[in-house]
Structure 1
Amino acid sequence: MLRALLAASLFLGGCVTAHADQPSSAGLLTAAQGDLPGFFGCLRDHKIAIIGAHRGGPLAEHPENALRTFEFTTSLAPVFLEADVQQTADGVLFMNHDNHLDRNTTGEGLVSETDWKEIADLKQRDPTMQPVDVTPPLLSDVLDWADGKALLMLDTKPSTVPAKVLKVVDDAKARDRVFYLAYTIDQALGYRAIDPDAILAMPIFDDSYFDAAEAAGLLNDKLVAMVRVANVAPDFVEKVAATGATIMSGTYGRPQAPDAVYRTLKDAGAYDEMVGLGAQLLVSNRPRSAAEALLSHADYASKLKVCGVGS
């Protein structure tokens, strides 16, 4: 009963009422597919942002990185999906946030020390730690599901091998509808060595990150720069944006973050502030609420339409 009530409260508190002319997750994908830099640049030019569902937008009975959760979240709000990729001991790529199995699944031990056959039939756990009757999806399953439905940012954990990730993406003919989160310069260069046009997200938290990315030749319109826009000087955001990079920021992780303070549409300004600080992509633990806040502005849908969403 408690889990059912939690699911209902989250649904009602962050549900976006659907209309025929309202932006959709599929509409975001259609606008972005084939020219992510152009789409992100349009968002920047029109000073608007789109929402990313962190780990797919989990809630009761909807685990992190589960196909069930991806389907549910994208049916309720216009978002892209941030999804986590891990690599098993025998080189299989599947969806899981942690580098161990205990929190996200009914299994135990390190992912890197476990073969896929020992993981395939595990149940995924929801945020209440209860097992749900769904199993961890393969990366290939997610790419197939997302075709025509959602833009994906693949948070490829440091243990994953870029060549393996790109092979699975290529097999799914998904190269023009995904971008990748890399944690290090070496990981980013691993992607670029194989696919020079790969769109990469990576931390650009301060001048030291900026200088390292610049020296590696990564600062351009194919970079999504992870910047904590509320914690840095405006001129730093401007410096990063001047390279052509897209600015992405999280809406969680601090007491006054938008995800923490948003209750009703009267609080929409919490998300607006981050857009005003220069972010084009807002990754949220409350994607339904964040999308609701942005959609509350009368001109939001029309600005997205200029960028090809729903046109």
Structure 2
Amino acid sequence: MYRENKIGIVIPAYNEELLILETLDGMPNYVDKMYVIDDCSKDKTLKLLKERQKIDNRIIIIHHETNKGLGQSLIDGYVKSKEDDIDITAVMAGDNQMHPDDLPALLDKIIDEDYDYVKGNRLLHQNIESMPTYRFLGNSLLTILTKFATGYYFSMDPQCGYTAIKNDVLKNIPIEKMTTGYGYNADILCMLNIQRYTVADVEVRPVYDREKSKIVLWKYIPKTSWILTKLFFRRLWQRYTVLDFHPLVLFYLVAFFNFMFILIPGTIRLFYMYFSTGEFPSTTFNITATTFLITIQLILFAIWMDMDYNKDPKRK
């Protein structure tokens, strides 16, 4: 128990025989439950877990008969935590990449400042240079896209999986519907934003040592970008249309109409007339250029309103 709160840790593990025991050994004594999800590992991960469970009754093993992905592992851990008498559930990877000394910072942010969900931010740490360049660049791109998708514009490093959430909040979001692959981190943020829950970042140290990332970057970024696009439209629909109404939806709608029915046809006609007749269609150009400027303004106003509507009420 940590400051009168029962703490559960969800630990996804896939082929982590090298580091899973170090992860468990480093777990603080105040952690009440460790939900370790073995996602059909092909190595000795499950065997090591069963052996360690005999001497540490805090360990609860959830075994997948088939590989279901990181998102499903987290879902199963969260669901089990909801069933138990836990106050705050955190997530720590099974590859010892998340330093246990940073866990109190996440928990304190929830306990002292009453945030609903707290996530790590490795970009705040002075040791950020240890993050591989390709990860940093990919992280930066996905950070920008995630801001639009989730509405938490002040949040950074959304790919960091070191998180903590109140179980009272966990019980009020459809966590079972979270994406089962990569992109889960943005999905849960989107769920939280729709319900207007508060989110905060805390500094955590980037740890890159013996673990091997299972992310194939050239596949991960396009796939995750598509997921973020869908989350963006889902958030606009559910938060600003179904649960409430905000004019920014109309701004985006008009901008989309302009793009599809004026800008694209106008641009096609512009080039077709120029290359087929050699004449420059000035009327088409003026209409297209004016519509382009109006569309940009609509999008910028919509973004500004979305940012203003999602200001963190706890931030000064």
Is TM (by shorter chain) over 0.5? Answer: no
Structure with a larger share of its residues in helix = 2
Q: TM-score, normalised by structure 2?
A: 0.22
Which has the bigger relative contact order, CA under 8 A and spacing at least 6? 1
Determine which structure has more spread, i.e. the larger CA radius of gyration.
2
